[in-house]
Amino acid sequence: MRTCTWKFAFLLGIACFTITAFIYGHYDLDFIHSGDRVILGRPLKVTGSSLPPLEENGKNTTAPSEDERARPAQRDPVLGQVFNFSVPVLQWAGLLNPQEWQRLQQDPGPYGWKGLAWDASRGTGSCSTAASRGCVRCAVVGNGGILKGSRQGKAIDAHQFVFRVNGAVTKGFEEDVGTKTSFYGFTANTLKNSLAAYRAVGFTRVPQGQGVHYIFIPANTRDYLLLSAAIRGIPVPSDHDKGDVPSKYFGQKSSVDKFKMLHPDFVRYIKERFLKSPLLRKKYSHLYMPSTGALILFTALHTCDQVSAYGFITDNYGAFSDHYFDRVKKPLIFYVNHDMQMEGRVWEQLHTQKVMWLYKRPLGA
Per-residue pLDDT of the chain (365 residues; tens, 9 = 90+): 334 544 444 444 433 333 333 333 332 222 222 222 222 222 222 233 333 332 223 333 445 444 444 456 667 777 777 888 888 888 765 535 666 666 766 665 555 666 665 552 233 233 333 444 468 999 999 999 999 999 999 999 999 999 999 999 999 999 999 999 999 999 999 999 999 999 999 999 999 998 999 999 998 889 989 999 999 999 999 888 999 999 999 998 778 889 999 999 899 999 989 988 776 677 776 777 899 999 999 999 999 999 999 999 999 989 999 999 999 999 988 877 778 888 999 999 999 999 999 999 877 66
DSSP string, 277-298: -GGGGSTTGGG----HHHHHHH
Which residues are CB-neighbours of 128 under 8 A, at least 6 positions away? 12, 13, 14, 257
Spatial separation of the C-alpha atoms in residues 327 and 349, rounded to whole Å: 31
pLDDT of residue 85: 86
Buried b (16+ CB within 10 A) or exposed e, 134-173: ebbbbbbbbbbbbbbebebbebbeebbbbbbbbbbbbeeb
**Coil, helix or strand for 161?**
strand
pLDDT of residue 197: 94
Give, as one character, the DSSP assignment of residue 37. Answer: P
Per-domain residue ranges of the chain: 9-14+64-90+134-358
pLDDT of residue 329: 93
pLDDT of residue 328: 94
Beta strands in 21-170, from DSSP E residues, in sequence order? 124-126, 137-141, 161-165
**Coil, helix or strand for 57?**
coil
Out of 3.40.50.1100, 1.10.3720.10, 3.40.50.1000, 3.90.1480.20, the CATH code matching 9-14+64-90+134-358 is: 3.90.1480.20
The count of C-alpha atoms lying within 13 angstroms of the C-alpha of 131, restricted to the half-sphere facing its C-beta, is 5
Which residues are CB-neighbours of 45 under 8 A, at least 6 positions away? none
Spatial separation of the C-alpha atoms in residues 161 and 180, rounded to whole Å: 8
Question: What is the amino acid identity at position 248?
Answer: K
> Residue 92 belongs to what H/E stretch?
none
pLDDT of residue 119: 52
pLDDT of residue 65: 47
Spatial separation of the C-alpha atoms in residues 209 and 308, rounded to whole Å: 23
Contact 22, 113 (CB under 8 A): yes
Residue (of 340, 304, 338) closest to 110 by Cα position: 338
Which residues are CB-neighbours of 289 under 8 A, at least 6 positions away? 110, 219, 267, 271, 337, 338
